[in-house]
Amino acid sequence: MATLFLNKSDVRNLLNMAEVIKAVEQALRDCALGKAKMPPKAYLVLEQGDFRAMPGAIPGAAGMKWVNVHPQNQSLGLPTVMAIIIYNDPATGYPLAVLDGTDITAYRTGAASAIASKYLARKDSHTLGIVGAGRQSYTQLMAHGELFDLRQIKVFDRRAAAVETLIKSFSAYSIKASSLEETVDSDIVCTVTPAREPFLKSEWVRPGTHINAIGADAEGKEELDPSLLKKAMVMVDDLRQAAAAGEINVPVRNGLFKVEEVYATLSEIVIGKKQGRKDKKAITIFDSTGLAIEDIAVAKLVYDKASKAGGYLSLDFV
């Protein structure tokens, strides 16, 4: 039996956002139904950045992602986030593939946010605000474009060049560089920054807004004014991860928000165990920390397509 080796180019050519959204939503459904397994992330924190080990299993697939987050990498011409995924046969443990996981990470994160918006944003949402114009902003836009009729997209980043590059990359959309406050004045807001101090003020958020809080994915990170959590319906992808390293981690540690105040997990909402948006004026927040089962679901999608297509590097493992 051979092990496939899929590099960044291989994986990117096999990724399709519509398919990724479908795979991620199924993984969330499997999680809620007890068909998936996923221990919490294990963090290795260094002075320059951190590494995370993320094992998980869904029906028919298992594996682990080894991913880093090094914020200073942009100045070195490297991605902030890079990842490798080992994809295994759950029946035998055989390593079916070793895949570059950088784009898989970006795609599944964008997909998870769009799925959250599907259930939590107002049905008449047409404006998307993106805070942070790094790599993740691209897949946030791509994923929301699959599920929503986006008539206007507003982007804020302190780096004007990054905003301009994003705008040029999506010429089919109406995108404009905006101030932070103007960007937050949107139907759906995605925050994708490495902030460790809250910058999104509660008073900027109008009734009916849905926020995907994505940047806070490690202990000490925080993007939203804690008072905003108190007046919003807060959903998480995984309660343990969110309490330890998600958007709620700092407010929980400081006694400004309680874990018990979390309304639901996204998985519970996907299967209908909990209701999503209850009224047009509610402010909803999805605290996204990133799930290993999402990575494995997309790795399975990529592996299955590569196996059918053939022509990729493979080596005998045993």
Active site residues: 65
Q: Quote the tokens at residue 268.
A: 């519970």
**Among the listed residues 112, 134, 139, the one whose alpha carbon sits nearest the alpha carbon of residue 242:** 112
Tell me the C-alpha distance between 233 and 255, whole Å.
18
Residue 9's CB is within 10 A of a number of other CB atoms, namely: 10
For residue 158, give Cα distances in angstroms to 133, 180, 195, 219. Answer: 9, 9, 12, 23
Helix segments in the chain, DSSP class H: 8-14, 17-32, 102-120, 135-147, 160-169, 180-184, 226-230, 239-245, 249-253, 266-270, 292-309
DSSP 62: E
**Contact residues for 306 (Cβ-Cβ < 8 A; gap 6+):** 4, 6, 10, 14, 97, 312
> Helices then strands (H, E): number in the chain?
11, 15
Tell me the C-alpha distance between 135 and 44, whole Å.
23
Indicate the SS3 state at residue 185: coil
What are the φ/ψ torsions at residue 217 (nearest 5 degrees)?
A: -130, 20
What are the φ/ψ torsions at residue 56 (nearest 5 degrees)?
A: -170, 160
**Among the listed residues 117, 179, 177, 180, the one whose alpha carbon sits nearest the alpha carbon of residue 150:** 117
